[in-house]
Chain A
Amino acid sequence: MSAYIIRRLLYAIPILIGVNALTFVLFFVVNSPDDMARMHLGDKRVTDEAILAWKQEYGYDKPLLYNREGQGTEAFTETILFEKSIRLFVFDFGRSDSGRDIGFDISQRMWPSLAIAVPTLLVGLAVNITFALLLAFFRASYLDFWGVVICVAMMSVSGLFYIIGGQFLVGKLLSLVPISGYDTGMSALKFMILPVIVGVIGGIGSGTRWYRTLFLEEINRDYVRSARAKGLSEHLVLFRHVLRNALIPILTGVVVVLPLLFIGSLLVESFFGIPGLGSYTIDAINRQDFAIVRAMVFLGAVLYIIGLLLTDISYTIADPRVRLD
Chain B
Amino acid sequence: MARKLTQTPWAFKTSVIARSALWAILVFTVLPLLGCADTAWNNPYRAGEAVGPVFFGAFSDRPKHLDPARSYSADEWAFISQVYEPPLQYHFLIRPYALTTLTAESMPEIRYFDADGNRLADDVPASEVAYTDYILRIRPGILYQPHPALARNEEGGFVYWPLADEVLHRVNTLNGFEKTGTRELVAADYVYQIKRLAYKPNHSPVAGLMSEHIRGFGEFSKQAAAAQEQLDDDELWLDLRDIPMSGLEEIDRYSYRIRIENKYPQFKYWLAMNFFAPMPWEAERFHKQPGLEEKNINLHWYPIGTGPYMLTENNPNLRMVLTRNPNFRGEPYPSEGAETYRQTGLLDDAGKPMPFIERAVYSLEKEAIPRWNKFLQGYYDNSGITSDSFDQAVQFDSGGEASLTESMRERGIRLITAVETSVFYTGFNMFDPVVGGDSERARLLRQAIAIAVDFEEFISIFRNGRGEVAHSPLPPGIFGFQEGEAGINPVTHTWENGSPKRRDISEARELLRKAGYGDGRDPETGGPLVLYYDTMATGPGSKALLQWYRKQFEKLGIELVIRATDYNRFQDKMLKGTAQIYTWGWNADYPDPENFMFLLYGPNGKVDHKGQNGSNFVNAEFDALFVEMKDMSDGPERQRIIDRMIQILQVESPWMFGFFPKAYSLHHAWYGNAKPHLMANNTLKYKRIDGAARVAAQQAWNKPVLWSLVLVVLLLVASLIPAIRGFRARERSRAL
Contact = CB atoms under 8 A, between A and B. Distances in A.
Interface of A: 30-32, 35, 38-42, 44-50, 53-54, 57, 98-101, 104-105, 108-109, 134, 137-138, 143, 164, 167-168, 171-183, 186-187, 189-191, 193, 228-229, 233-235, 270-273, 275, 279-280, 283, 287-288
A275 B364 contact: yes
A45 B209 contact: yes
A33 B588 CA distance: 28
Contacts of A186: 35
Contacts of A168: 373
Interface in B275-329: 293-296, 298, 300-301, 315, 317-318
Contacts of B293: 101
Given A168-B373, A171-B373, A182-B318, A187 B294 contact: no
A101 B705 CA distance: 44
Contacts of A270: 366-367
Interface string B712-736: 0000000000010011001100010
Contact of A177 (B42, B571, B723): B42
B62 A283 contact: yes
Given A101-B295, A138-B730, A181-B44, A173 B373 contact: no
B73 interface: yes
B32 A193 contact: yes
Contacts of A288: 568
A181 B363 contact: yes
Contacts of A176: 33, 41-42, 704-705, 708-709
Interface in B21-44: 28-29, 32-33, 35-36, 40-44
Nearest to B367: A271
A182 B370 CA distance: 13
A120 to B, nearest CB: 12
A277 B393 CA distance: 34
Nearest to A98: B64
B627 to A, nearest CB: 19
5 A-B pairs with least C-beta separation: A275-B317, A47-B208, A181-B44, A178-B44, A35-B568
A50 B204 CA distance: 8
A137 B727 contact: yes
B566 interface: yes
Contacts of B46: 183, 187
Given A175-B702, A181-B363, A275 B731 contact: no
Contacts of B731: 233-235
Contacts of A178: 42-44
Interface in B353-380: 363-367, 369-370, 373-374, 376-377
Given A42-B205, A176-B709, A273-B364, A31 B42 contact: no
Contacts of B735: 228-229
B72 interface: yes
Nearest to B72: A42
A45 B208 contact: yes
Given A175-B42, A189-B32, A190-B33, A279 B366 contact: yes
Interface string B519-538: 00000000000000000000
A131 B28 CA distance: 20
Interface in B407-460: none
Contacts of B29: 193
Given A101-B293, A179-B374, 13 more contacts: A45-B208, A98-B64, A134-B723, A138-B726, A138-B730, A143-B726, A175-B42, A175-B703, A180-B367, A233-B731, A271-B366, A271-B369, A279-B317
B84 to A, nearest CB: 18
B8 to A, nearest CB: 12
B497 interface: no
Residue of B44, B65, B73, B370 contacting most chain A CB atoms (<10 Å): B370
B539 interface: no
Contacts of B36: 190
Contacts of A98: 64-65, 300
B589 to A, nearest CB: 7
A138 B731 CA distance: 11
Contacts of A179: 42, 44, 370, 373-374, 377
B241 interface: no
A42 B73 contact: yes
Contacts of B203: 41, 50, 53-54, 57
Nearest to A275: B317
A187 to B, nearest CB: 6
B296 A104 contact: yes
A222 to B, nearest CB: 14
Contacts of B35: 186, 189-190
Interface in B216-265: none
Given A49-B208, A177-B41, A179-B373, A40 B702 contact: no
A280 B363 CA distance: 16
Contacts of A287: 64
